[in-house]
Amino acid sequence: MNEIDQFIRFLQTEKKYSHHTCGAYRSDLVQALEYFTLDFGPSVLLTELSFPILRNFIAALSSQGLSSRTINRKISSLRRFYTFYLLQGVISSHPLSNYKALKQSKSFSIPFSEEEIDSLFLAIDEEMVEETFEAVRDRLLLELLYLLGIRRSELIQITDKDLDLDAKQVRIQGKGQKQRLLPLSSNSIPIIERYLHCRYQRFQKPSFDSFLVTDKGDPLYPKFVYRKINSYLNKVSVKQKKSPHMIRHTFATHLLNRGADLNTVKELLGHSSLAATQVYTHSSIEELKSIYQSSHPRGKNTSS
């Protein structure tokens, strides 16, 4: 087993990272290894490299026009890799211990307004008139993302056994295999029941490993969910970012705008710390600034 595979196995078995997260780490490390292979040959090991050599890779990333955020993420993968092997005693010092991350410009994504979300559900409700499996599935997919504020990966992992319709709750498998129970609204129960009925009518199977499935009955996958969300949001919004994460972003912002406690939102989102949740308070403020500046008679002359 090579050094990258060993590190990825650690992330999978010990840290319980998701398949998607482990894939991102592997991609970053393989990219670095391929770069150094060009100079040092196929026998090169990342654990043998010093900071002056690693700095060449950082410079190469910068020359490709990548954003500071992207470069920092790739270097963060290398940092984690070297920390693992330092603790294992394979290396005696961390080659990136004194490296300072590139400065990133702060940007806040404006969430969808309540009016846009209302329009989103009206648009898909129109497609549900014939109550096809695809239309009911898509409606439920959107319902769960906005109702629960869950991550795309968490949506995909929901199984039939995770649902308790009598108790009106669903068990979510979060990051690091942490579980949390989230409430289902009374309005969501009939939609879930309609979906289960349509799913059985379509495939003649009483249960599946995955609760939500594709048109062919296979488990959902990230690109499928992204395309669905992006397609429906394109119909109701001109905002650039139209992803499942923006639905989660919107869920948190709408709760905070209506007076929800930050700690409560933190628990609903499955965050491990308040710092991760507080970003949504910033986006809420940015939206308020935007509304103020466009609506107030002197708003355009007010500095942000």
Catalytically annotated residues: 151, 175, 245, 248, 271, 280
Tell which residue, 185, 218, 182, has the closest CA to residue 203.
218
Any residues with CB less than 8 A from the CB of 262 and at least 6 apart, and which? 256, 274, 277, 278, 281
d(CA 201, CA 194): 10
d(CA 24, CA 7): 13
Phi, psi of 181 (to 5 degrees): -100, 130
Specify the pairing of strand 163-164 against strand 179-183.
unpaired
Tokens of 95: 């080659």
Tokens of 264: 């409560």
- 3-state secondary structure at position 273: coil
Is the CB of residue 32 less than 8 Å from the CB of residue 55?
no
Q: What angle do CA 170, 158, 148 make, to 5 degrees?
A: 50
**Residue 13 identity:** T
- 3-state secondary structure at position 45: coil
d(CA 241, CA 216): 28
Is the CB of residue 114 less than 8 Å from the CB of residue 254?
yes
